[in-house]
């Protein structure tokens, strides 16, 4: 089976077309609710419509039960968004994954992000059994083989419509061993990934060093690299990410700036402090995008405004990335 469709695209998704056309891509993130509230998904979709080329739908993010990424993706499509379905290896074995992939494609989804998944001990079901039948790299291989060879993981042919996803993965330039990280990306490229999104960047010098190694290895010519950014919500949130979140590095300058933003606002003025923090968080994020955009090999940004989807529009506008291009 041919690797590409007649029109030359692997999936034909908007995100693929934007990247292929050489535009600086913008993706955002939509976190589904911890209830069966479809209206909340619609509300978040409304906030993101038109400001991102595609929107990641998280899959039981931080191991907390939420509306499934595929079900949320259906609503996102109804609301005019293009979803990037996130799929972790934590909750499903290879049967469930392939079954969901067939379903997601049948429902109109065209982008997939293959993830390991946060450990369940972080979430609200720490006694759950984890699966990890495949790792994220093997998931990439499986999705690629379904698309390009028309086969299931077991080797059986898919009789009929083949799911054709634009295949993504995550990379963390801030995890250890640092020396291994560019090689890990190289392995994901060899497995067949089309695009990657990075962990939240709050240490641009380290990201720059990572990208230098990636470019030296020529990987940026084989995979689209979207840099992960996100607005800080408060000084406390910045400190928490710096001190408590595994796999993150937050430079002190960001914590200091968030603290300075409310230095002259009394503690009792909660609304005033919140507004000042949010304004500074958005400002920092815009500056980061402008700086990261200049780094060789970066093909776009992935904006993760967690439980703060309304911040994405001012960030995209402020960074000069609005309106989003249209491609055919």
Residue ranges in contact with another protein by CB under 8 A: 89-90, 94, 116-119, 121-122, 130, 132-138, 141-142, 153, 170-172, 174-177, 179-180, 183-184, 186-187, 190-191, 199, 246-247
Which residues does 244 contact at the CB level (< 8 Å), separation at least 6?
A: none
174 close to 247: Cβ distance less than 8 angstroms: yes
Q: Which is nearer to another protein, 135 or 296 (CB)?
A: 135
Q: What is the largest CA-CA distance in the chain?
A: 66
Task: Specify whether the CB–CB gap between 171 and 219 falls below 8 A.
Answer: no
Q: How many other CB atoms are found less than 10 A from the CB of residue 67?
A: 22
Query: At its nearest, how many Å lie between another protein and the CB of residue 122?
Result: 8
Cα–Cα distance, 303 to 316 (Å, whole number): 9
Nearest distance, CB of residue 124 and another protein, angstroms:
16
In the complex, least distance from residue 197 CB atom to another protein, rounded to whole angstroms = 11
Q: Is the dihedral angle over the CA atoms 263, 267, 270, 272 positive or is it negative? A: negative
**Residue 4, CA distances (Å) to 11, 25, 144, 291 in order:** 8, 21, 11, 34
Minimum separation from the CB atom of position 116 to another protein (A): 4
d(CA 57, CA 55): 6
Based on CB atoms, which residue is closest to another protein, 129 or 267? 129
The residue among 80 and 247 lying less far from another protein, judged by its C-beta, is 247
Q: What share of residues in the chain are helix, strand, coil (percent, to 5)? A: 45, 15, 40
**CB 81, min distance to another protein, A:** 26
Q: Which two tokens stand for residue 317?
A: 């506008």
Measured from the CB atom, the residue of 130 and 251 that comes closer to another protein is: 130
Shortest spacing between CB 230 and another protein, in angstroms: 15
Shortest approach of another protein to residue 179 CB, angstroms?
7
Cα torsion 230, 121, 242, 181 to 10°: value is -80
Backbone angles phi and psi of 8, in degrees to 5: 90, -5
Burial of residue 176 (number of CB atoms within 10 Å: 0-12, 13-18, 19+): exposed
Written as six digits, the tokens of 260 are 């300075």
For the bound state, the minimum distance from the C-beta of residue 201 to another protein, rounded and expressed in Å, comes to 13
Provide the token pair at 258.
Answer: 């968030």
Cβ nearer to another protein, comparing 187 with 274: 187
User: Using an 8 Å Cβ cutoff, are 28 and 313 in contact?
Assistant: no
């Amino acid at each position: 089976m041919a690797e590409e469709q007649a029109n030359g695209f692997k999936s034909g998704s908007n995100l693929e077309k934007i990247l292929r056309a050489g535009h600086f891509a913008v993706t955002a993130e939509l976190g589904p609710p911890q209830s069966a509230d479809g209206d909340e998904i619609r509300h978040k979709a409304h906030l993101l419509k038109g400001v991102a080329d595609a929107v990641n739908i998280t899959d039981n993010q931080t191991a907390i039960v939420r509306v499934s990424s595929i079900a949320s993706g259906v609503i996102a499509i109804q609301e005019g968004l293009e979803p990037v379905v996130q799929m972790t290896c934590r909750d499903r074995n290879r049967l469930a994954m392939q079954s969901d992939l067939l379903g997601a494609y049948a429902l109109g989804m065209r982008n997939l992000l293959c993830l390991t998944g946060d450990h369940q001990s972080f979430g609200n079901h720490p006694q759950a059994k984890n699966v990890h039948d495949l790792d994220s790299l093997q998931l990439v291989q499986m999705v690629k083989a379904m698309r390009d060879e028309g086969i299931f993981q077991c080797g059986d042919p898919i009789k009929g419509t083949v799911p054709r996803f634009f295949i993504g993965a995550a990379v963390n330039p801030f995890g250890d061993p640092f020396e291994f990280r560019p090689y890990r990306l190289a392995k994901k490229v060899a497995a067949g990934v089309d695009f990657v999104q990075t962990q939240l960047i709050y240490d641009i010098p380290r990201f720059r060093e990572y990208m230098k190694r990636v470019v030296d290895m020529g990987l940026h010519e084989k995979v689209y690299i979207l840099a992960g950014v996100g607005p800080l919500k408060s000084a406390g949130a910045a400190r928490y990410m710096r001190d408590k979140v595994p796999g993150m590095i937050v430079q002190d300058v960001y914590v200091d700036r968030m603290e300075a933003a409310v230095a002259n606002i009394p503690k009792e003025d909660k609304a005033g402090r919140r507004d000042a923090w949010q304004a500074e968080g958005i400002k920092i994020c815009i500056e980061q995008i402008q700086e990261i955009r200049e780094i060789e090999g970066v093909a776009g940004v992935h904006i993760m405004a967690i439980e703060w989807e309304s911040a994405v529009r001012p960030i995209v506008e402020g960074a000069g990335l609005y309106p989003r291009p249209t491609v055919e």
